[in-house]
Structure 1
Amino acid sequence: MEKYVKRKSKLEPSLPQEEDDHYSSTKQSRIEINLVDLPADPGLQAWIMDYNANGRDQIRRAYLQKGPCQPRDHNFPQKSFGQKLRQFNQAWFSEFPNWLEYSVTKDATFCLCCYLFKPDIGDQAGGDSFVGEGFSNWKKKEKIQTHVEGPNSAHNQVSSKCQDLQGLALRGHDGSKHSSNQGNFLKLLKFLADHNKDVKVVALSNAPQNLKLTCPDIQKDIVNVAAFETINVIIRDLGDALFSILIDEARDISIKEQMAVVIRYVDKKGQVIEHFLGIEHVANTNALSLKQAVENLFSGLGLSISRLRGQGYDGASNMQGEFNGLKTLILKENPWAYYVHCFAHQLQLALIAMAKNHNQIALLFTLVSNVANVVGASCKRRDIFREK
């Protein structure tokens, strides 16, 4: 059985002296990737950053597919806290099913998401006990909930990265021949070449001269072609039928205003169909700019505003304004394009109105906002808040 030694708060395979001396300069390429033998117990897992950079996503994906280590049938040992004996509560697995892990060897809990993606920046990372030594203070179960915190917390940020990793990215980090992370495009192309003789004679290493057609720009072109063909299928299914549109605009992470357009129609089988048509960048969010963007999109798809029978927007003045809103500009051109206020936005406005008309609810949100602003502005205040 392989021996383990403690290293960076995780247990890793011990090495011969010669390799161990070489560890500091080659630690990212030292650990070989063996997805079958990856330890499930979080107390025995090697530090994620010690794996080769080209293979980390493979390891992360393998752990995510297995799910968090939750030995429900384990006889959890008791610890003495003052005059009481306490132990890990198996019900916490059900309360935090997606990330909470338990180490049998350490009798401690860990966070799977933070282990996979939390950056290794030493003490600056906040000294999170759910990544290093593990959390085992069963007297303070609220610490587990505190670890999650708000929507923009470090835990929720790495949780989003876990969800993104499970998506199918077309390109990998390194498309070279011997890379272990070439991306799905090259992997699928190789699979197709291995199982189709006609493809094999013209693909990859058998391609004539430099016509491999695998460079990043060409991969992007293929994605654009796939998107174009998908939209064409939607337009052909729509045919000459009447339709309605749902539009919302928001600022993305690159600080650009984007307008998302969804089309809604009844197909030949009598079923109501909704399809996402695309996202249009709008330099200005006034009604005229939005209408111009809609017309440009319709023109490129061969659609006409005269076939429009419904509009669904939020309640912003530039969208549903009575005199100069987008709905009004379209109604002037097509009086049968009836406007319906988006129900989701109506519900939001109803909740806001209800909160404003009840002093206790309004006071609660005011206090929460003040606490968030005061505590969030200071690292020391955050630490005190976590302790309390």
Structure 2
Amino acid sequence: MHYFAFHVCCLEAIQYGPKDGFACIKNLKEKTEKHENSRKHIDNVISLSVLGSVSIKERLSEAYRLSVNAHNKKVTKNREISSKIIDCIKFCGHFELPLVGHDETDDSANPGVFKGLINHASQIDPDLRAHLESNAAFKGVSKTIQNEILDCLLQIYRDQIRINTKEAPFVAVMADDTTDVSEHTQMVIVLRYLVGEEVVERFWEFFTPENQTADGLSKCILDQLNTVLEGNAEKLIAQTFDGASVMKGKKGGVQAKIKSVYNNAHFIHCYAHQLKLIMQNAASVTRGSQIFFSNLSGIAAFFSRSPLRLNVLTKHMTSRIPRPSSTRRKFHSRTVNKVYEHFEPSKNAWRKYRVHQMLL
């Protein structure tokens, strides 16, 4: 501090002091310490500390300073409004609710969950209501803005996963694919790793592979693993898929192609699929179970293959009986639950159809 004060004192002596400076320097230390406590020195030190941090435009123009303050207040207000809109989007995502409605016009009776939630929030939030009513340039509730906010949330979510996997000692990957109602194949990738001492599973993203071959599926998985692991190949210790040959093939399967890149990634058959196969095989050896599931699938097929039968069933039931699938285990339970819930109406529909056939 003394060295710095010495230079400041020299500058001040040149600017404000006598031209000949100090005649004797043996008292320099005493004069310097005295000068450190002077008002002039303190003001100069403060001016030096803020040098370059204060805009000269704000010093010279009061109007410019006021416009900057007004702009900052507007930005702060817009951030508060955007935060409330983001909270509404997060609410819909938390409960897996669709954001966009079929008719989002102002006089629509059902504009969708998101817009309905925004309208409800504006009734109890004066700032949000004023923003929606007065701001014509940017309201922040359009479909485009919704998609941009969702993309930002996804990016933040994935960045956090990358941070967690970077800190985790081990990582495992799980993947499965299915065909949606539009006949497009979708693959989901889930990561399993440690956060502290807790094992967590985190959804990564849905993907559309180039094809359903081992090359297409493995390429999709490897591209994402490269993004997540960032070159730390030794961290991947397990890969989990179903028992399909394209996934578990020892030479040309997906697991073999991934293991050729990640040597520690041992293949483990998905326990959920194993449980399904065990229960299916255990139930298939008993005669009663075979008859039950055969009749169950027959009920759905019987009513779905004839318009006349379906018309009779519709008069007694408000919903159809789903047909069980040999590959999707959840459809078996849906069929059982639907028949159980509508057992009496389905019996009446069956009797009605038999009487109708007897009268023909």
TM-score (norm 2): 0.52
CA contact (8 A) 1:257 1:283 kept: no
CA contact (8 A) 1:261 1:277 kept: yes
Q: CA deviation at 1:195?
A: 4.0
Distance 1:333 1:224 in 2: 30
**Secondary structure of the corresponding residue to residue 333 of structure 1:** coil
Name the amino acid aligned to 2:192: R
In the other structure, the counterpart of 1:169 is 98
In the other structure, the counterpart of 2:281 is 353
Q: CA RMSD in A?
A: 3.3
Q: CA deviation at 1:375?
A: 4.6
Distance 1:313 1:327 in 2: 8
Identity of aligned residues (%): 25
Change (3 A) 1:213 1:360: closer
Q: CA deviation at 1:341?
A: 0.8
In the other structure, the counterpart of 2:245 is 317
2:263 equivalent to 1:263: no
2:272 equivalent to 1:344: yes
CA contact (8 A) 2:222 2:258 kept: no
In terms of fraction of residues, the more strand-rich structure is: 1
Q: Structure 2, unaligned stretches of length 5 or more?
A: 1-92, 314-346, 352-360
Distance 1:178 1:380 in 2: 40
User: Cα deviations across residues 349-388 of structure 1 (Å, max 9, x unaligned)?
Assistant: 2233334544554455445545543453224446496233
TM superposition outliers: structure 1 runs of 4+ over 6 Å:
none
Distance 2:263 2:124 in 1: 58
Change (3 A) 1:374 1:264: same
2:176 equivalent to 1:248: yes
CA contact (8 A) 1:305 1:334 kept: no
In terms of fraction of residues, the more helix-rich structure is: 2
Give 1:24-173 correspondences, 5 Å limit.
167-173=96-102
Change (3 A) 1:214 1:302: farther
In the other structure, the counterpart of 1:294 is 221
Distance 1:225 1:192 in 2: 24
Change (3 A) 1:188 1:353: closer
Change (3 A) 1:299 1:336: closer
TM-score (norm 1): 0.49
In the other structure, the counterpart of 2:89 is none
Distance 2:300 2:308 in 1: 14
**Matched residue count:** 220
Change (3 A) 1:334 1:238: closer
2:141 equivalent to 1:223: no
Distance 2:124 2:272 in 1: 49
User: Cα deviations across residues 67-101 of structure 1 (Å, max 9, x unaligned)?
Assistant: xxxxxxxxxxxxxxxxxxxxxxxxxxxxxxxxxxx
In the other structure, the counterpart of 1:335 is 263
In the other structure, the counterpart of 1:387 is 350
Q: CA deviation at 1:314?
A: 0.7
CA contact (8 A) 2:176 2:242 kept: yes
User: Cα deviations across residues 269-323 of structure 1 (Å, max 9, x unaligned)?
Assistant: x001111111111231111111111122234446447121111111000111111
Name the amino acid aligned to 2:244: A
2:202 equivalent to 1:278: no
* Greater C-alpha radius of gyration: 2
